A and B are shown apart, each in its own frame.
Chain A
């Protein structure tokens, strides 16, 4: 933990804000009263970005636990298919079928679990819980704004997310079960209400939930972009923004441009479901009966879905990258290496993410010559990604690194991103994809590169900014146990899956008992399941640490406990509405002046000394 702060520095902060800051007469209007006058406006329908960030985080954590528990249930099935699951009957009820006293997971519920696990982790946890939390918390604080451009839309953004979650949660209790056609909701399983038990009411609620979710993302994203472009404080030029802000800004743009395409896909899907159109449905039989649909194309849905779907993975990973860049630089006590290269690589990744979607569809009957185009652009993404990895490692190199939970998770992120990124180069090749597609190799790849890695970025952010959120520290020892256990455990879960995948074990299968050649993987599957249970237990430890620390954690005693340069650490320890009690601080330099001119760090509000140049 940092011990470099001095009380002298702190009073200096206030003086600097007073001297150079910008007076917007915010507190003359007594806006606080309007925003935080009673319990409901303070904690529930709050329009304060910091409270909304906490709402996003805790709701995201709820869904994280739900998604993880679902994965444990289907991992039980995969690891121990012979064991009785009678002990789950009190929770899962009729989805555990009993024969001779042995409880078995119902196959259709297995598919529902896989589907909802994917949906909630991708959208509710790693989109809303990650970028929703940290965009809300950090954008106004780090650019020096009182709040978002529209606090009202910001509040609505959270409550639409909440509504989406409530509908999804309710769908778990349908007698026909939640949607079970995979998180990508490909037709015909998603387009024909009779296609499977989850395709009826389950799919209807799934779609409703996601439409509200898109509304939430758009309201949030419009706000983030507008705030970053319009509400930066005096002196905060684009090139002085911390990389977190760059990442959230570009993420929001990606969301605004890609989620509407998902809505158009859902709209056409709904027409197919309800109005008997044939956008995605061609000649098809159900129960021996030919349906009226003629001439639709399920591949058309895949194009529309993945036009969102691919940018979506960067919507997930870019905020994590931004957080990691910031946390690594602060805890290595070094400027981020290659700041501009970091920004350009974010922009390059964002641009490329729109022209690679069909690499999810190499085996869907896409013309192999068209695949070539997508292979090339997919592989080009490795270039900006490698630039980022190089810069993170170069930032750490020779640094005076503090190994605390936040920085460890950031380093863990880099490890995961490299491991998962390398397998992406395999899968980006349409020829290798013939063997690898729809196997556990794919599962291993995306779980490491955008699942675990994004979670690591999120954990780094939570440990690092927890003092800003709650005015207390999280327990450091538990944090380190959480880190080492999760790092080893996550590799133990996903590393072996590569071997399964290379041997051709298909993903999403309920059982492999009819495939003799996969029998020898039974032990690996047991091992993975046990590792998954251990990793889950460690996340419970994290949640206990989180909630315990909110009330009982070690108190933050200085404004800038990490010795960081950015503006959020110039606010009071418990910032009220409007963030700064007096003037808004003015920015005089970039965000990464660590170890410059013999000083350990120079906050952004400190003016350039005489003869000092701002080179970066």
Chain B
């Protein structure tokens, strides 16, 4: 990063390699990461203090990791289809990606129900509370991504089928955020497995 920041060549406002909005999105992701760093380090510290209930994570958490990876792949293909002006494929893949996203949230809900059926409650041992909070706050961020995907769907089905730079950029922002929440979930599952 230093090489680009501390570049002594004169710059102009048009020569940027990365779009400022995309850059801003990355910074926003960094700040979301810091929030989860807060949760996970609190988890580690609290666990080390003892009086900690060990339990198995709901199996759906792992299925969901697969689903969110699949949705990311679908959205990459969707982006590619759009770039190649294959509007039909683009629309189809966008709908698929969106449905996979919705499936993720629904299955997270099922996973919480599973936990409750196994006697792990929000107001019980902090071990369980932490899992609810971490997966719940993550799901809230996925919901944000779903809202963005809905906006993308509206664009896909209402705008005329032209491939423009602005639309490509908008799709790129949406998909980038979606990848981010996906990778975040993979990390969180990995973290929870590692710590139980």
Contacts and interface: CB of A to CB of B under 8 A. Distances in A.
Interface of A: 22, 24, 145, 149-150, 153, 218, 221-223, 225-227, 229-239, 256-265, 267-268, 271, 275-279, 292, 294-297, 300, 303-304, 307, 584, 586
Interface in B26-81: 27-28, 30-39, 41-42, 45-46, 49, 51
Nearest to A295: B51
A225 B39 contact: no
A212 to B, nearest CB: 15
Most buried by B among A221, A223, A271: A271
Contacts of A296: 126
A234 B8 CA distance: 11
A258 B34 contact: yes
A95 to B, nearest CB: 35
Nearest to A301: B42
B123 A256 contact: no
A237 to B, nearest CB: 5
A267 B24 contact: no
Contacts of A238: 5-6
A275 B136 CA distance: 13
Question: Main secondary structure on chain B at its contact with chain A?
Answer: helix
Nearest to A255: B31
A343 B39 CA distance: 32
A237 B20 contact: no
A590 B151 CA distance: 45
B117 interface: no
19 contacts: A149-B21, A222-B31, A226-B21, A230-B23, A233-B12, A234-B10, A234-B11, A237-B6, A237-B9, A256-B30, A263-B38, A264-B42, A278-B123, A278-B129, A297-B45, A297-B46, A300-B42, A303-B42, A304-B42
Given A233-B12, A235-B11, 20 more contacts: A149-B20, A149-B23, A150-B21, A222-B27, A226-B21, A226-B24, A230-B18, A237-B7, A237-B11, A264-B35, A265-B42, A267-B137, A268-B42, A277-B126, A277-B133, A279-B126, A294-B51, A295-B126, A300-B45, A304-B42
Interface in B134-192: 137
Contacts of A232: 11
B23 A307 contact: no
Contacts of B126: 277-279, 295-296
B13 interface: yes
A237 B8 contact: yes
A154 to B, nearest CB: 11
A222 B28 contact: yes
Contacts of A22: 12-13
Contact of B11 (A236, A262, A276, A278): A236
B37 to A, nearest CB: 7
B12 A234 contact: yes
A261 B125 CA distance: 22
A233 B20 CA distance: 14
B11 A261 contact: no
Given A149-B24, A275-B123, A259 B31 contact: yes
B133 A267 contact: yes
A22 B30 CA distance: 33
B149 to A, nearest CB: 21
A260 B129 contact: no
Contacts of A279: 42, 46, 126, 129-130
A277 B129 contact: yes
A258 B10 CA distance: 33
A457 to B, nearest CB: 25
A218 B45 contact: no
B34 A260 contact: yes
Nearest to B52: A295
B16 interface: yes
Nearest to A264: B38
Contacts of A258: 34
Nearest to A587: B10
Contact of A264 (B39, B49, B122): B39
Nearest to B25: A222
Contacts of A263: 35, 38
Nearest to B10: A235
B23 A226 contact: yes
Nearest to A277: B129
B8 A271 contact: no
A277 B11 contact: no
A268 B42 CA distance: 10
Most buried by B among A145, A149, A259, A260: A260
A257 B39 CA distance: 14
Nearest to A225: B27
A23 B167 CA distance: 26
A292 B124 CA distance: 9
Contacts of B16: 230
Nearest 7 interchain pairs by C-beta:
A264-B38, A276-B123, A260-B35, A261-B38, A260-B34, A295-B51, A230-B20
